Amino acid sequence: MSEGIPLFPLSFEVNGRAVELEIEPQESLAEVLRNRLNLTGTKVSCEVQVCGACTVLVDGLPVSACTFLAYEARNKKVLTIEGLAAPDGTLHPLQQAFVDESAFQCGFCTPGMILAARALLEERPLPTEEEIRASMDGNICRCTGYLPIVHAIQKAAQALRSRS
């Protein structure tokens, strides 16, 4: 905390849990998640909203947590990669599909990719390949190439459809 900077109260929900803390006005959501709440699955890479590594969902919509000010999350629901699996540890179908399809190598971009894909599948349960590619355009992977990622999202869409 910087000396002399006023603190602001922040109340929001993270992964189904109510959180209350005091933040500095310039703190990003990524900083609060990683440094204050120890939710380090949210990665920070470019810090200018172009790579997608820091993607989290705020009220179901994907946001770049590196440029999203934490106070903008007040009274909202935030979902990070840590909150996606079931309480018993069972992976979400998207997480499992990324494993099954080898849709990652180093894994740095994977949390943001999975959360962006989650938002897509909530909006379009059976997206076309073109819709998947367009939706994932803001998420950069330097390791895998994108075909395994597209296949993983298609596989997860089918798994989610068969669950409902």
CA angle 133, 95, 136 (to 5 degrees): 15
Q: Are residues 48 and 107 in the same domain?
A: no
The token pair at 108 is 């740095």
Structure confidence at residue 143 (pLDDT): 84
Structure confidence at residue 5 (pLDDT): 84
For residue 63, give the H/E element and its range.
Answer: strand 61-64
For residue 23, give the H/E element and its range.
Answer: strand 17-23
Domain boundary among 32, 52, 83: 83
What is the maximum span of the chain, computed from C-alpha positions, in angstroms? Answer: 55
d(CA 64, CA 50): 8
For residue 79, give the H/E element and its range.
Answer: strand 77-79
The enclosing domain of 42 has a CATH number of: 3.10.20.30
CA distance to 27, 92, 126, 158, per residue, from 161 (Å): 38, 13, 8, 5
Structure confidence at residue 1 (pLDDT): 56
Angle between helix 110-123 and helix 147-163 axes, rounded to 10 deg: 50
Does the pLDDT of residue 63 top 90, yes or no?
yes
Expressed as residue numbers, the domain containing 79 is 8-83
Q: Are residues 12 and 79 in the same domain?
A: yes
Q: How many helices (H) and strands (E) does the chain have?
A: 5, 5
Q: Are residues 76 and 105 in the same domain?
A: no
Q: What is the pLDDT of residues 69-93, one digit of tens each?
A: 999 999 999 999 999 999 999 999 9
**Is 21 among the domain residues?**
yes
Q: Are residues 130 and 100 in the same domain?
A: yes
Does the pLDDT of residue 24 top 80, yes or no?
yes
Domain boundary among 52, 83, 114: 83
- What does the mean pLDDT of the chain come to? 94
Q: For the CA atoms of the chain, what is the radius of gyration? A: 16
